[in-house]
Chain A
């Protein structure tokens, strides 16, 4: 930084006093700034995903490192090359491309072949983010668009779920159905049968000992990360809680086979990509509303669409499409709500 300081103050001015020349920097106020920066935020979010990543390695073995690593590598490299190629400011070290790669990796099934992470990351970073103008200008959550692209292009590969047994030769891993898949096809009774009993089902879901995308399974690890972000005030309760709350209420009312108000909200809360989505993807600054009131609307919308897809849609899981659909509405929501303006209460006739 000192070097920069010298550089931009070539203009030297003479001091009337001790015949010393002092270069002075002139800029607009404020002259002091908070230490927060985009890079600091992004790396902290990456760090908050570490517990979930560790759990994914624990349950799915080296495949987790391989798939996630490939995603991150492709994401960072493609952003770097894109910016270099177009002679733009290089921002590939700010942690944002890394985060996109990490999130995409955590959203992939463990047993995908190598070209899946690469294709997904390219779509996420190059098409969803860079072609829209880079960080800050993208409309959709890059990692989720990457995943949606993969799901539509390789529906078979994207729904092969390995059993979570820390397999070291992952290609040989046995495959099974995800809890939400079982729930959708055969119902809650069958699901409990598979896991033993209700208590065991809940605890396995909480710990993450179930089939699913790499980083989504361990609710507890994700909650630890979320607690870090909330403690650091990088995210607030508004989106995740309204999202989860809507899912819980909708699951309770409509989720049961025996009629209204017989559903099990806990299964829905702990299954699929809900925890990962609610705390880490729906809260993406760029693609969610800025105003708190709007964030609650956004969260409720995400929850409602998620449950609509889970209960009535063709897919067992709907978090991804729910967030992507609500991403479309974020700018509109931001224009529809406004913060409580100081002095707005007494808007009177007089205008001087």
Chain B
């Protein structure tokens, strides 16, 4: 029954999840001020619907979608708009954002409840998801309603919930599955309904036995839902790897999961979908794992969107002496921060603070010795060694012949490289220089 599924190649980094995996999700303090970027998703930034001085309530729309691939943005607290300007975000860009100062009351607008949510039609479900501003919460932040509206020529027969959480350190999805398994399963059922699919899977890595048990018991009555135990391996949670592991289907090169009839959703997203469809609650808060040996008290916290990293870190006891790096996201694909005055967004799964002893210098690297370790681990079956050599010499066009654009920058090659080459940097550089 519990077969351990996986994909070819990949790596086994130290997971370090024990720092926070046993910590229940606790609500963060109501922030005094939030900075809410109008673009927290892939696609067109939302159109600002408020002015400086406006009073807003929790859950009120402050940005409306500007296009098909776009998403609305809501206020996460009640208070007054005090600024609308470009602010830095965790991915390093300046993004037009709305700054709201709390009035301390945390008053919410009325949400439209739907006790009989399973009777809703597909379009109603998708409308509710869109109105709630739900985007993929695993990091990429692609608008969920778009993902749930595949073109007609791409029939979908399978939905997979991604409970792999293969990024080291992160435990947000783990805690959600362990603490709210029913909501996860309900979310999955809603997604399946919206797509007219009758086969749903939840894939969970073996290192979360409590989550597997909880989800299995929550899904025990559902004949259409299967729980799969996955091998502990990075990047097991990458969409293509997850589909390969569970359905043994390979998404074609340059293709999308829908090309093989699959839609993958994140665990947090599933719960947000449940809350949006059942309670009409917009996506204004999310679970963030605050962890690493550079933070005094690692925690899993329910944090309002727009809360500054510095606020969150302070609530976890602050940084330890010798904390050297703050990362938004996990250690494999997350973004190092230069300032802590950036907000938590819908896609922020973790705040990782590395201490001096966890830090690995990446400033000095050597020539490729062509040991082939990167070839042996690349989940996409590329030749990173050759790519890096070509890119280093500026042969970007030739890099395309080695399938540069199939690289999704998981960092496995860089992780194993004994010459400590900045592989991900090379790939990004080349991608910025040539078109696909």
For A17, give its contact among B313, B402, B424 (CB under 8 Å). B313
C-alpha spacing A31/B420, complex, angstroms: 12
**Cβ-based interface call for B360 (8 A):** yes
**Cβ-based interface call for A87 (8 A):** no
For B252, give its contact among A11, A13, A338, A346 (CB under 8 Å). A346
**Cβ-based interface call for B359 (8 A):** yes
Asked whether A17 and B375 contact (CB < 8 A) given A30-B332, A33-B415, the answer is no
A30, B416: Cβ atoms under 8 Å? no
Binary per-residue interface labels of chain A (25-37) against chain B in the complex, 1 for a CB within 8 Å, 0 otherwise = 1111111111011
Stretch at the interface among A46-54, A133-141, A249-257, A309-317: A133-141
Instruction: With a 10 A CB-CB cut-off, give which of B335, B341, B367, B420 has the most chain A CB atoms.
Output: B367
Instruction: With a 10 A CB-CB cut-off, give which of A2, A292, A342 has the most chain B CB atoms.
Output: A342
**Cβ-based interface call for B380 (8 A):** yes
B419, A29: Cβ atoms under 8 Å? no
Asked whether A343 and B310 contact (CB < 8 A) given A13-B339, A34-B415, A334-B386, the answer is no
A38, B424: Cβ atoms under 8 Å? no
Apart from A24-B324, A41-B371, 16 more pairs, CB < 8 Å:
A13-B340, A17-B318, A18-B318, A24-B336, A29-B411, A30-B411, A31-B359, A31-B360, A32-B358, A32-B415, A34-B11, A36-B416, A36-B418, A37-B418, A136-B366, A339-B382
Binary per-residue interface labels of chain B (336-374) against chain A in the complex, 1 for a CB within 8 Å, 0 otherwise = 111111000000000010101011111100111111110
Residues of A within 8 A of B (CB): 1-2, 4-5, 8-9, 11, 13, 15-18, 20, 22-34, 36-38, 40-41, 91, 133-137, 285-286, 288, 290-292, 334, 338-348, 350-351
Asked whether A339 and B381 contact (CB < 8 A) given A32-B13, A34-B13, A347-B253, the answer is yes
**Cβ-based interface call for B326 (8 A):** yes
- For A337, the closest partner residue in chain B by CB is B383
Residues of A within 8 A of B414 (CB): 29-30, 33
- For A339, the closest partner residue in chain B by CB is B381
Residues of B within 8 A of A2 (CB): 322, 356
Residues of B within 8 A of A348 (CB): 252
Asked whether A17 and B314 contact (CB < 8 A) given A32-B332, A36-B373, the answer is yes
Chain A min CB distance to B430 (Å)? 14
Within 8 A of A (CB), among B294-332: 308, 310-311, 313-314, 318-319, 322-327, 331-332
Those 4 A-B pairs whose CB atoms lie nearest each other, nearest first: A136-B367, A30-B411, A341-B381, A17-B314
C-alpha spacing A8/B362, complex, angstroms: 11
**Cβ-based interface call for B135 (8 A):** no
B253, A29: Cβ atoms under 8 Å? no
Asked whether A285 and B253 contact (CB < 8 A) given A8-B363, A27-B362, A341-B382, the answer is no
A285, B372: Cβ atoms under 8 Å? yes
B168, A341: Cβ atoms under 8 Å? no
C-alpha spacing A4/B360, complex, angstroms: 11
A286, B406: Cβ atoms under 8 Å? no
Residues of B within 8 A of A285 (CB): 369-372
B375, A291: Cβ atoms under 8 Å? yes
Residues of B within 8 A of A350 (CB): 259
Residues of A within 8 A of B254 (CB): 343, 351
A29, B386: Cβ atoms under 8 Å? no
**Cβ-based interface call for B255 (8 A):** yes
Within 8 A of A (CB), among B1-17: 7-8, 11, 13-14
Residues of A within 8 A of B63 (CB): none
Interface size classification for chain B? 35 or more
A29, B337: Cβ atoms under 8 Å? no
B252, A15: Cβ atoms under 8 Å? no
- For B418, the closest partner residue in chain A by CB is A36
C-alpha spacing A175/B7, complex, angstroms: 58
Binary per-residue interface labels of chain B (397-436) against chain A in the complex, 1 for a CB within 8 Å, 0 otherwise = 0000011001001010011111110101100100000000
C-alpha spacing A343/B251, complex, angstroms: 5
**Cβ-based interface call for B240 (8 A):** yes
A29, B319: Cβ atoms under 8 Å? no
B367, A134: Cβ atoms under 8 Å? yes
Chain A min CB distance to B275 (Å)? 30
Asked whether A16 and B340 contact (CB < 8 A) given A5-B361, A31-B325, A343-B250, the answer is yes
- For B425, the closest partner residue in chain A by CB is A28
For A33, give its contact among B352, B356, B420, B425 (CB under 8 Å). B420
Asked whether A291 and B250 contact (CB < 8 A) given A18-B314, A30-B414, the answer is no
A343, B428: Cβ atoms under 8 Å? no
C-alpha spacing A235/B279, complex, angstroms: 58
C-alpha spacing A23/B326, complex, angstroms: 10
Residues of A within 8 A of B420 (CB): 33, 37
Instruction: With a 10 A CB-CB cut-off, give which of B322, B326, B385, B418 has the most chain A CB atoms.
Output: B418
Residues of B within 8 A of A342 (CB): 7-8, 240, 244, 250-251, 253, 379-381, 406
Binary per-residue interface labels of chain B (236-268) against chain A in the complex, 1 for a CB within 8 Å, 0 otherwise = 000010001000001111110001000000000
